[in-house]
């Protein structure tokens, strides 16, 4: 009897100790995972903002295929939600609370009597690829059990996040770049741009510009944004064999790098080239159809120097043809990033 009493006292003491220690533990837990996807931010964003797309990549759908899933109508955008009910995944509901197209998504998760949490997504596009981050945060309050469980939150959820992001990457990279007029903000060469990206037949590049540069200009004006450059064409892939290019029509909206002090300047067929560390800038004068001469000249020089061109290539159309009628005076700046 005495032994049992001592065991009970010891157990009670351990419980009290665990409760006291719990108040020294973090009051909230966070889990986040990131992955880089070779696709525009608009493509990746679409897989998250439309909740029905989660079935294609979320690990929790595979965890319990027999669970019941319900969706709002519509199931896309701010206010959209889905709920789940299963033996393993229990019950809960996720609601999109805020969206910033192709840039971020905020959600709230309600686990019924087991608390709630917030989950946030960010999409950072740079040079044609998108770094997507999936973050989860839940508060434990003064609940000792919840605080102790919080210590294991990363190990419990991290694997599912990684699995989901990996499947999303595979899915997004298998999809064609949409030719929709979705205006997005992205970074190229350390400069923030606003533009529209699509796969375009090479013979339709001029029509693509004619359609989309006015839309970009209207978007900038309506959002109080001031362009820092003339219209630009950004080329991620140039598929000569199939006559298609993955490209964007864009304008810079952040400060441009100082290109006033090149390492040297060289004369090439079609114009003059300024050489910088890991960048060539070709000042080409002439009709747009003749820019191929400049591209070929820079490709040749890089090959001779044992250097490799790094996508994307960018053209900036400095001269407005509506103001200058003589094509010989049209200046196109062509930016060629390279690596040794």
For 269-300, the pLDDT digits (tens) are 878 999 999 999 999 999 888 899 999 999 99
* CB-count exposure of residue 69 (10 Å: 0-12, 13-18, 19+): middle
Whole-number pLDDT of residue 49: 93
Over residues 201-225, the pLDDT tens digits come to 999 999 999 999 999 998 898 888 9
Contact residues for 200 (Cβ-Cβ < 8 A; gap 6+): 179, 208, 244, 245, 247
Q: What is the pTM of this model?
A: 0.58
| For residue 155, pLDDT beyond 70 | no
Q: Which residue in this structure is represented by tokens 């043809």?
A: 321
* Confidence band of 128 (pLDDT split at 50, 70, 90): confident
* CB-count exposure of residue 267 (10 Å: 0-12, 13-18, 19+): exposed
Helix, strand or coil, per DSSP, at residue 231: coil
Over residues 159-191, the pLDDT tens digits come to 788 999 999 999 999 887 654 457 888 899 889
Report strand pairing: 232-239 vs 244-252: antiparallel
Task: Report yes or no: 79 and 95 within 8 Å, Cβ to Cβ.
Answer: yes
- What is the distance between the alpha carbons of residues 13 and 18, in angstroms, rounded to a whole number? 9
Cβ atoms < 10 Å from Cβ of 119:
20
- What is the distance between the alpha carbons of residues 215 and 161, in angstroms, rounded to a whole number? 37
* Confidence band of 316 (pLDDT split at 50, 70, 90): very high
Residue with the bigger pLDDT between 63 and 149: it is 63
Report residue 128 as tokens: 């044609």
Average pLDDT score, the chain: 84
Cβ atoms < 10 Å from Cβ of 136:
21
Over residues 13-53, the pLDDT tens digits come to 545 444 444 444 455 677 889 999 988 888 899 999 999 99
| For residue 150, pLDDT beyond 50 | no
């Amino acid at each position: 009897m005495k032994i049992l009493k001592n065991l009970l006292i010891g157990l009670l003491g351990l419980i009290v100790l665990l409760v006291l220690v719990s108040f020294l533990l973090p009051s909230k837990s966070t889990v986040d995972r990131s992955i880089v996807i070779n696709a525009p931010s608009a493509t990746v964003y679409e897989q998250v903002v439309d909740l029905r797309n989660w079935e294609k990549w979320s690990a929790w759908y595979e965890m319990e295929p027999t669970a019941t899933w319900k969706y709002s109508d519509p199931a896309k955008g701010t206010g959209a939600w889905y709920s789940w009910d299963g033996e393993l995944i229990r019950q809960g509901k996720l609601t999109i609370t805020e969206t910033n197209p192709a840039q971020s998504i905020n959600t709230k998760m309600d686990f019924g009597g087991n608390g709630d949490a917030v989950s946030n997504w960010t999409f950072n596009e740079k040079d044609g690829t998108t770094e997507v981050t999936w973050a989860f945060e839940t508060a434990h309050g003064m609940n000792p059990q919840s605080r102790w469980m919080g210590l294991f939150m990363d190990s419990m959820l991290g694997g599912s996040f990684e699995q989901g992001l990996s499947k999303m990457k595979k899915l997004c990279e298998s999809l064609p770049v949409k030719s929709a007029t979705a205006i997005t903000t992205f970074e190229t060469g350390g400069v923030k741009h606003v533009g529209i990206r699509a796969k375009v037949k090479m013979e339709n590049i001029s029509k693509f510009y004619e359609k989309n540069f006015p839309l970009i200009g209207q978007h900038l004006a309506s959002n109080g944004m001031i362009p820092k450059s003339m219209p630009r064409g950004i080329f991620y892939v140039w598929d000569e064999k199939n006559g298609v290019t993955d490209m964007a029509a864009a304008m810079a909206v952040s400060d441009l790098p100082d290109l006033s002090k090149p390492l040297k300047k060289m004369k090439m067929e079609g114009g003059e080239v300024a050489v910088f560390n890991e960048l060539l800038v070709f000042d080409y004068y002439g009709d747009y159809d003749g820019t191929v001469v400049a591209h070929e000249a820079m490709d040749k020089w890089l090959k001779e120097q044992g250097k490799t061109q790094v996508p994307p290539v960018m053209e900036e159309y400095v001269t407005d043809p509506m103001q200058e009628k003589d094509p010989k005076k049209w200046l196109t700046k062509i930016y060629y990033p390279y690596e040794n």
